[in-house]
Structure 1
């Protein structure tokens, strides 16, 4: 995307010359059609047994590339160029229905009609100026024979799939604090495929549960950037009052929640990409986590030693725990009824298991930790990966925990790692290494390095 960036003066000139506008037209890869079919007198079609068939010709269909603006940041001059790929013309359809029988139920014929479907629509947006689709890939789907009613003839409806949906690629994203970019790694081939420039320094990020968007937090700018994971471009920015610290997604996939400034939790509707609610938390929170069932959220405060439970719908304080020394890091799995809470005044620190049903400590992990950086769960919730700072004198900075028993099962050494992401099949870990500007892929069967991928400067956070 940034390869196509222009100065504001150049953009204004281009707008005047080419009547350039913002990319506001909705893109659709499909077009509906309906073909009425008049039956010869004395012949009938039984809708219960009728079968439709369509052949098509798209020789009259053409591709038009249209440049348009997209917003890449909150400032008026933070604008980039994208390309709307439009298909225009006619798709000629030969629509047939069979069997056609006479009034006595005899015969096994068919009846056909030629129908022209007029096409004029943006099928997708692209970073490339010559990214036209192959019209030979057009398919016809969802054919339905509609019986005559109220004087209307028999008809066939269906969908022209002008452009097939792209294969969903598995991406790994890193927030690079050194050059204000997000690096995009294709996890299928472990190769850097895109670098997305941002308006401000990214400090954390998270991927929506449907994998459609990546939310990037800018702690120093009180801002959230939203990346469309199909186009790999910033499509929206949301200003906040307070520095965003952490993002969580509720299990229904409808809302994102962001802890900002310690005293506010923002609710963002993922569909509309707008703030729909703001909850005030008191005292200010060091960390927060969502209930796996989507009913509550939990905050920690290490100064007055309290863990609070809030109603996620109303923001009302429900209950508090005050029996932990300096509670700070708190995490919950996507699937489960527990939370892991790091606590301890002098160190090394303990990790308590909080039973969320009773909101009480049920056990502790059978290991102490020297200030955890993060805890990351596997997609199925069966494993938790506890990451500590790396020291040569104590190199085993990764602890793998069995979440069914809440006991550690192995340790490993991941030098210089600041954050982790686990593949959905639990086979690999992607580890961000900010001092080396790299991501190292580790095999979870033996925690050996498989490959090292160069990324942007200072990758401090990673998500998949």
Structure 2
């Protein structure tokens, strides 16, 4: 969505010219409750009742209202938007059947005309004439409510005034060279926004429901949170140490951030607040979450240990101390294993850790000269190992833990994989670009200019 930022002076001038308020909350739905009086001597059993609703929205109209919307954390980071408001009446013909007499005989129906008054903002737009198509209105969630305390039988439901838009799929890059996050629309592989940040972004991650992007600022001990619908920064959270890596638990409720090596922060995604802080000892080089949401794991290459902690209490549960210099560790969203890069002298191995027994079960059939990252596909069937050298991508079948193929992604610092496993987006900081590769043959199909120095990428 396009945003036209205003300076403080421009905002003040606009306020003098016309009274603009900050945008109110929008809702695409309206609830209704239609009471139904039954003829004397007749009854409806709510357990078997069937309802039908038809509607008419001829008296409904659309108006557009200008208002301010916040585009960032600073007071002068605002923009003018057009609030699309629906006003008028939706007339409902509500029918309920079967209607029977007191002896359980009959199979009739009873109907009532109910008027639902509408006066609400349904969404925001950059365009002043962007009104919805009233033919898209739907009636959902119909429930027959039995009489109680003298109230008549009634039918409740939801009028869906405007259907939810299809969620757009974005790729985000953390650009350390100009302190921005670039946003790519994956449907057309085009840059749609460069979001300015107060500090240098060093890493980032997207919540599992795709609603927010968490941006780590390793130089400033901060985490910025971007609303992926408005593409604006909505929250900045300070930490006691430099954030280094972010993970999201499979339940979708919490984000976990490794900061300063010795702390794991738990952030409630809904409230965007820190709900717990765990101290890990020794300090961690890397960490990963258990796919079942019960534990987290840390590595320390200095004393050759992998620790297992309870994610609810932060208590140390178990440890592995028989693997040389454990470094990068990663787990899939679905599975019972972790991949761990370890080895005292390069090239290194990638060990397969059985999380059920918390022991090494096997290793990948290839040696690696220092991994940048390990990325799993959403379905957990593939893993992608990225190295910093020419033939730098290794694709692994996670069912057999065996290498499938290798490919070259020149200059890639990080990668993101589409949910259907058909494309890889590679961030290239030296070229200020993101290249899209087709996974059927690993050929480049698109090159997208982004901000300066895209060091990390997420989808």
Normalised by the length of structure 1, the TM-score is 0.89
Correspondence for 1:4: 4
Listed as ranges, the matches of 1:260-275 within 5 Å are 260-275=259-274
Structure 1 residues 256 and 248: CA distance shift in structure 2, 3 A:
same
Question: Does residue 448 in structure 1 map to residue 452 in structure 2?
Answer: no
Unaligned runs of 5+ in 2: none
**Residues 125-159 of structure 1: per-residue CA shift (max 9 Å, x gap):** 45556544333422222233444444323322211
Listed as ranges, the matches of 1:40-51 within 5 Å are 40=39, 48-51=48-51
SS in 1 for 2:59: strand
Per-residue deviation, 1:250? 0.8
Per-residue deviation, 1:210? 1.6
Per-residue deviation, 1:78? 5.0
Cα distance between partner residues in 1 of 2:294 and 2:354 = 15
Which residue among 394, 408, 413 is the counterpart of 2:403?
Answer: 408
Normalised by the length of structure 2, the TM-score is 0.90
Cα distance between partner residues in 2 of 1:401 and 1:94 = 58
Cα distance between partner residues in 2 of 1:348 and 1:81 = 56
Cα distance between partner residues in 2 of 1:200 and 1:128 = 32
Listed as ranges, the matches of 1:12-91 within 5 Å are 14=14, 25-40=24-39, 48-70=48-70, 72-73=72-73, 77=76, 84-91=83-90
Per-residue deviation, 1:262? 1.2
Cα distance between partner residues in 1 of 2:143 and 2:14 = 46
**Residues 408-438 of structure 1: per-residue CA shift (max 9 Å, x gap):** 2211111111111111222221111122222
Which residue among 424, 427, 438 is the counterpart of 2:422?
Answer: 427
Correspondence for 1:332: 331
Correspondence for 2:140: 141
**Residues 314-351 of structure 1: per-residue CA shift (max 9 Å, x gap):** 11122233333332211111122222221233312222
Correspondence for 1:259: 258
Listed as ranges, the matches of 1:136-285 within 5 Å are 136-285=135-284
Per-residue deviation, 1:381? 1.3
Correspondence for 2:322: 323
Listed as ranges, the matches of 1:361-376 within 5 Å are 361-376=360-375
Kept in 2: contact 1:68–1:84 (CA 8 A)? no
296-305 vs 57-66, which moves further: 57-66
CA RMSD of aligned residues (A): 2.8
SS in 1 for 2:384: strand
Structure 1 residues 134 and 2: CA distance shift in structure 2, 3 A:
closer
40-49 vs 434-443, which moves further: 40-49
Structure 1 residues 169 and 324: CA distance shift in structure 2, 3 A:
same
Structure 1 residues 85 and 234: CA distance shift in structure 2, 3 A:
farther
Structure 1 residues 103 and 72: CA distance shift in structure 2, 3 A:
same
Report how many aligned residue pairs link the two structures.
458
Cα distance between partner residues in 1 of 2:287 and 2:52 = 56
Per-residue deviation, 1:248? 0.3
Structure 1 residues 65 and 243: CA distance shift in structure 2, 3 A:
farther
